[in-house]
Each structure stands twice: as C-alpha cells, then as structure tokens.
C-alpha cells in the first residue's frame, strides 16, 4: 500500500497518538552520571570546559550522589584525581585510594546508588598513559597485572560494577580471573570494549587531569575508521567474560552501536563523552541551540541505536526533565 492509502501523518496528529506509537523511550533508569573525586574536603571545583561538572572532594561527591539519586539517577561512574601520581599509578589499587574512599562514602550516604568504577591508569600515572611504560610504549602484559589489582581493590571498596577503559588486550579475562580468585565472582564487568582514540575526550582530560605527557593513545585505543575491528574487539571481550559492552564516544559512533546491538545480546552501554557534552553547552550558551531539546534528542538517538545504558554528564538534567513529564 502506498499513498494515498498510506498516510504516515495519521498517527502524528496529537501528542497522545504520537506517544502511543513511540518506539524508543528514555528513562532515568538508563542514565549513568560520571563523577570526579579529588582530595581535600568541602571542594567543588568547576571544570571550565564542562559547565555543571566539578571535581568533588569525597564529602561533596557523596552529597552530589544523594542529590542525583533524589532526582532519579540510579547509577554513577567514578573517576579519581589522586593526591600523588607515580610511574605505575599505584595509588589506584590502594584501599586508601581516592576512588576507594569515594565508594565507601557513597555507600554510606546513598546505599541504593549503583556504583560503577572506571578502571584505568591515566589519572594515576605521572606520564598520563593508561598503563606501565616500557620506554615510550605502554606494556600491555605488565599493565594487566595492575588492572587486576586495581579491580580487586575497587570491588573490595564497594564497587558494584568494574568498568575497564584502558584498552589493553586480554584485560577482561585477567580482571575476571582476579575478581573470581578474590571472592568477587558476583561482580560484573562492563567493558569499554569499543573505545576509539577520539578527540572528543578533550574536556575530560581537564576534568580528570589525565592528558598524556607525550604522544597520544593511538597505540592502544581504536582507530575511528574501523567498524569491523570494533566487532572483533567486542567479540573478544564477550569471549573473555564481559557482562556488558560499551561503545565510546556515542553520537559519532551510532553505526558501531547499532552493529553491536545486532550481533550481541549482552546489555550495551554508550558513553556520551565530555566533548559531546561540551559542544551542547557551548552552543546553548551562545543561544544557537536549545540545550534541553538537543540534549534529550541526543540521548534518545543513542537509545534508539541500541544502548541500554548511557553514561552522560547530562544525566541529572535529563532525569529532572523526565521527572517533570518530558514527552517530546
């Protein structure tokens, strides 16, 4: 059947009709709020390139988590800015480490909040790379041992989900083995399986103070040109025992996300990264776009492409709009 028998506009006439046939919905249950923990107390230091995002001392971070929970956000993703950095990033596996302290503080302040811990070394190493160096190269296999240590330490401090973002080969298997051996067989691994070497991470590196001191991350993160390799990366992580897969960044890589959705039945996450958020904020600040509408449309598009979970700095804004009955 075609026009005039078929008229697509019949179900577009009213808000109620449109809602009735809507295929994709956004819910606060799908949102994860990234948070940055730093030392000290009473600190909320704004990140200049990401309006609304702060480095929080552990006390303020726990309060922020409580406020976000009250707004409907059910999960946070934790990053740490440690007091000291060294060549291996050893503070990342200390029980007294910054994220370990943040995990305990959130647990006591908002026990219901799901705590996802990012596992990587770029915030913890004095050279800003995501693992141990051998000369100027990140040593994959030596880094695996440290990833396992960091993961076990984070699980012991109360992380509900372990999320490795380092892009070393074999890490999911190494982390799974270490978690199981340490008595954390029930702790799931959310693998940043498909993480591209992206310029969209720029503002995050200010937020996390994690820019590499030399070179870039192209020898371990993926080439933005590669879609088939993304499927191989994902398959390898599934094979090694990943419980959930992530694609990162989100909007420029929706084809990858949709491809993963077709091939895998695991839950999928997408990271709407710092640069994506900064662009929305900057354009809105100039009055060039409507932040609420473009942000909600972006998140909906990420869901439509196949993401169950969306990591986004806009999580609180979106949760508030949804609670107010946003239906656009």
Task: Cite the active site residues.
Answer: 195, 248
Q: Which of 9, 59, 14, 57 is nearest to 36 (CA)?
A: 57
Q: Which is nearer to ligand PBG, 63 or 209 (CB)?
A: 209
CB atoms within 10 A of CB 5: 6
Structure tokens at 24: 């994709």
Q: How far is the CB of 213 from ligand PBG (least distance, A)?
A: 13
Contact 131/155 with Cβ under 8 angstroms?
Answer: no
Q: How far is the CB of 203 from ligand PBG (least distance, A)?
A: 7
Q: Which is nearer to ligand PBG, 176 or 217 (CB)?
A: 217
Q: Which is nearer to ligand PBG, 201 or 253 (CB)?
A: 201
d(CA 124, CA 132): 11
Q: Which is nearer to ligand PBG, 184 or 204 (CB)?
A: 204
Scanning 64-72, 86-94, 99-107, 200-208 for contacts with ligand PBG by CB under 6 A, the matching segment is 200-208
Scanning 52-60, 106-114, 201-209, 251-259 for contacts with ligand PBG by CB under 6 A, the matching segment is 201-209
Scanning 60-68, 115-123, 176-184, 234-242 for contacts with ligand PBG by CB under 6 A, the matching segment is 115-123
Contact 144/174 with Cβ under 8 angstroms?
Answer: yes
Question: How would DSSP label each residue in 6-43?
Answer: --GGGGGSSHHHHHHT------GGGEEEEEEEESSSS-
Contact 32/311 with Cβ under 8 angstroms?
Answer: yes
Residue 115 CB partners (closer than 8 Å, separation 6+): 75, 76, 78, 103, 106, 107, 158, 159, 160, 161
Please state whether beta strands 44-46 and 54-57 pair in parallel, antiparallel, or not at all (unpaired). antiparallel
Taking residues 142 to 181 in sequence order and writing x for each that binds ligand PBG by CB under 6 A, - otherwise, the string is -----------------------x----------------
Contact 308/268 with Cβ under 8 angstroms?
Answer: yes
By CB under 6 A, residue 118 contacts ligand PBG: yes
C-alpha atoms less than 13 angstroms from C-alpha of 83 in its C-beta half-sphere: 10
Taking residues 259 to 288 in sequence order and writing x for each that binds ligand PBG by CB under 6 A, - otherwise, the string is --------------xx--------------
One residue of 201, 220, 253, 264 binding ligand PBG per CB under 6 A? 201
Q: Which is nearer to ligand PBG, 100 or 125 (CB)?
A: 125
Q: Which is nearer to ligand PBG, 201 or 264 (CB)?
A: 201
Straight-line distance from the first to the last Cα atom of the chain, in angstroms, rounded to the nearest whole number: 29
Taking residues 67 to 106 in sequence order and writing x for each that binds ligand PBG by CB under 6 A, - otherwise, the string is ----------------------------------------
d(CA 281, CA 4): 43
H-only helix segments in the chain: 15-20, 58-71, 98-109, 140-156, 171-181, 202-208, 228-240, 254-263, 274-285, 291-304, 315-323
Contact 63/109 with Cβ under 8 angstroms?
Answer: yes
Q: How far is the CB of 154 from ligand PBG (least distance, A)?
A: 14
One residue of 62, 68, 75, 130 binding ligand PBG per CB under 6 A? 130
Q: How far is the CB of 89 from ligand PBG (least distance, A)?
A: 11
One residue of 36, 69, 184, 204 binding ligand PBG per CB under 6 A? 204
Residues that bind ligand PBG (CB under 6 A): 118, 120, 122, 130, 165, 201, 204-205, 217, 273-274
């Amino acid at each position: 059947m075609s026009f005039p028998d078929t008229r697509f506009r019949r179900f577009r006439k009213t808000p109620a009709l449109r809602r009735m046939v809507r295929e994709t919905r956004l819910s606060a249950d799908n949102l994860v709020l990234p948070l940055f923990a730093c030392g000290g107390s009473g600190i909320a230091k704004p990140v200049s390139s990401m309006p609304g995002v702060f480095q929080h001392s552990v006390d303020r971070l726990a309060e922020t988590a409580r406020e976000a929970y009250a707004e409907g956000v059910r999960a946070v993703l934790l990053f740490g800015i440690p007091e000291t950095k060294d060549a291996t990033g050893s503070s990342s596996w200390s029980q007294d480490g910054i994220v370990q302290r943040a995990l305990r503080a959130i647990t006591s302040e908002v026990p219901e909040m799901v705590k996802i811990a990012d596992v990587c070394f770029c915030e913890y190493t004095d050279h800003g790379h995501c693992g141990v160096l051998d000369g100027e190269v990140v040593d994959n296999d030596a880094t695996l041992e440290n990833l396992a240590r960091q993961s076990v330490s984070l699980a012991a401090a109360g992380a509900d989900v372990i999320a490795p973002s380092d892009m070393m080969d074999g890490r999911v298997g190494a982390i799974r083995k270490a978690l199981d051996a340490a008595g954390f067989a029930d702790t799931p691994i959310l693998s940043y399986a498909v993480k591209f070497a992206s310029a969209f991470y720029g503002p995050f590196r200010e937020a996390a103070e994690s820019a590499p001191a030399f070179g870039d991350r192209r020898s371990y993160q993926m080439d933005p040109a590669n879609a088939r390799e993304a499927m191989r990366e994902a398959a390898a992580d599934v094979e090694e025992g990943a419980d959930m897969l992530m694609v990162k960044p989100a909007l420029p890589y929706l084809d990858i996300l949709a491809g993963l959705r077709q091939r895998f039945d695991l839950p999928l996450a997408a990271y709407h990264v710092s640069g994506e958020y900064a662009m929305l904020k900057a354009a809105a600040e100039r009055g060039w776009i409507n932040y609420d509408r473009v942000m909600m449309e972006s998140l909906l598009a990420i869901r439509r492409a196949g993401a169950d979970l969306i990591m986004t700095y806009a999580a609180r804004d979106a949760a508030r709009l949804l609670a107010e009955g946003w239906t656009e």
